[in-house]
Amino acid sequence: GQNIDQPTEMTATEGAIVQINCTYQTSGFNGLFWYQQHAGEAPTFLSYNVLDGLEEKGRFSSFLSRSKGYSYLLLKELQMKDSASYLCARGGGATNKLIFGTGTLLAVQP
């Protein structure tokens, strides 16, 4: 992905907690999105951060540090159905387009 970096793959155990990191280029920043994409399906919106700090939504939380160009998605109480690709996307300022990372493929094991 253009100017967005996230790990390619991660593995975690059912019931555990996993943190997926994302770093991005800060120029023209206009919000940070996380999407979940199961194989063969459309990406679905998970979270949006525009201010620094942690946004919690049930088992999923997302954190943003604008000064560091850094975000993470935290998944708690992992379930097998959480096995998917997690896409970090940065709002592109005046261009009004989302720039996506290549995604992190998370495998949840029993």
Partner 1 sequence: EAGVTQSPTHLIKTRGQQVTLRCSPISGHTSVYWYQQALGLGLQFLLWYDEGEERNRGNFPPRFSGRQFPNYSSELNVNALELEDSALYLCASSLTTGGASYNSPLHFGNGTRLTVT
Encoded tokens for 60:
């999923």
**Least distance CB 33 / partner 1 (angstroms):** 6
**Least distance CB 16 / partner 1 (angstroms):** 26
Footprint of partner 1 (CB under 8 A): 1, 30-31, 33, 35, 41-45, 48, 50, 87, 89, 91-92, 95-103
Exposure string over 69-79, b if 16+ CB within 10 A, otherwise e: bebbbebeebe
Q: Which is nearer to partner 1, 99 or 108 (CB)?
A: 99
